[in-house]
Amino acid sequence: MAKITVAVVGASGETGQSIVDGLLNSPDAEFDITAITRPQSLNKLANAKLRERGVKVVPADLNGPQDKLISLLSNIDIVVSAIFYRSLADEIPLANAAKAAGVKRFVPSAFMIIVPPRGVVDFRAKKEDNLNYIQMLRLPYTYIDAGWWYQLSLPRLPSGRFDDALPPGMPDFPIGLDGNVPSALADIRDIGRYVARIITDPRTLNKRVHVYNEVYTQNQIHDTVEKLTGESLPRSYISEEDAISRIDNARKELNSAPENPKAIDILTPHQLFYSRSIRGDNTPEYANYLGYLNGKELYPDFQFIKFEDYVKEVLDGRAKGVYQDKK
């Protein structure tokens, strides 16, 4: 069987690394991977590590001349975008080039929790705008959402034993409402494995797909951590009114400095928390309502990492945290 050629944009990011891992280690298909990177990032350590693993690393300015980008994609079967949410506008010229080059499937940068397409999380609307543009081009696509990461779900332990695994700079959020709002979770290491299955599956072409590992409430997360660590966790709860107030305050700060990325990075976590922990959007049931294909039904044989096992890995010092390069 011929290799499937895949171009990954954002391959050095957290999601991109998982996707590359999933493609390289796929038991079901053989992939020839090209990582498209910004010219100024070509010589970064992350790209050197990709080359060591047999990934071709190619510089490209997504907002540069279209003919160069079209040429780069001319022999590519599938484009997977893991572009950072503040750079979503760059997907438009990428989609144009993919269409002109005859790419067979375009996977836009989604890979997040289930959220209403508009009105709750600002950057989710931008993702929907991009998908709408892709559909206007009649470019074959698959839109994949993949749960809230285990790596972002751990509460802080009084002893500090989890500190090395917690993402730096991420605020400690309280528990939403009574703590019994369910949310679909996934280990980031499984996301790439899901992607490798999805992008070779004809059933997922021109569809939205929802994959996740397990569904937990915040109380269940805390209960699990207490059981496995023997530590008692303090639990503070927040009402819907107070959660909305935090969003309003963050938006005021953003409106006063709209070009400040720090202001955007303050608003976004509050909106995501409100969606998954107050509104309860991030569930398989809501994904089904929105028309997503269910990964559990598509791939009942998928062996995923369980949340309890991830917590044990953290306690044993075997689990790598996300965004550790931000320390």
Please give the C-alpha separations between residue 131 and each of 36, 91, 112, 146, in angstroms, as whole numbers. 20, 10, 14, 17
Tokens (6 digits) for 266? 């303050």
Within 10 angstroms of residue 84's Cβ, the number of other Cβ atoms is: 13
Contact 254, 267 (CB under 8 A): yes
* Cα separation, 287 vs 144, whole angstroms: 11
CA–chain centroid gap for 327, Å, is 20
Separation between Cα atoms, residue 98 and residue 140, nearest integer Å: 10
Tell me the two tokens of residue 105: 């499937």
Catalytic residue among 56, 68, 104, 127: 127
In angstroms, the CA 320 to CA 276 distance is 24
127 is catalytic: yes
Catalytic center residues: 127
